[in-house]
């Protein structure tokens, strides 16, 4: 693994384990409502990072600009066959 990837991986690990001040999100936050949520997100991000390494800094930028400043406003919609972005209620809305 090159130096750049090592730095990115290390940064992601630090951000992943750094507590968020003033928020109630913790490791295992969704363990009752959706026990597999964190592992699904973690494994999906790992898989995409191997294919597209630019995803790591892009996710850091997304979290900083959308969630850390004034709290996540829900403006980020994930693409996929069974997601909010493709829900029947959104058929009439422009999504891209």
Annotated binding site for Ca(2+): 66, 69, 71, 73, 75
Q: Are the beta carbons of 83 and 77 closer than 8 angstroms? A: yes
Write out the two tokens for 20.
């968020």
Binding positions? 66, 69, 71, 73, 75
* Sequence-distant contacts of 4-9: CB under 8 A, at least 24 apart: 5/53, 8/53, 8/56, 8/57, 9/56
- Structure tokens, 2: 């090159």
User: Quick check: 57 and 45 in contact, CB under 8 A?
Assistant: no
């Amino acid at each position: 693994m090159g130096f750049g990837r090592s730095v990115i991986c290390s940064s992601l690990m630090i951000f992943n384990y750094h507590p968020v001040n003033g928020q109630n999100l913790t490791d295992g936050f969704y363990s009752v409502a959706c026990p597999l949520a964190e592992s699904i997100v973690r494994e999906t991000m790992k898989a995409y990072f191997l294919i597209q390494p630019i995803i790591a800094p892009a996710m850091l930028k997304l979290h900083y600009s959308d969630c850390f400043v004034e709290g996540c406003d829900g403006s980020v919609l994930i693409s996929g066959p069974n997601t909010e972005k493709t829900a029947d209620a959104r058929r009439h809305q422009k999504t891209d």
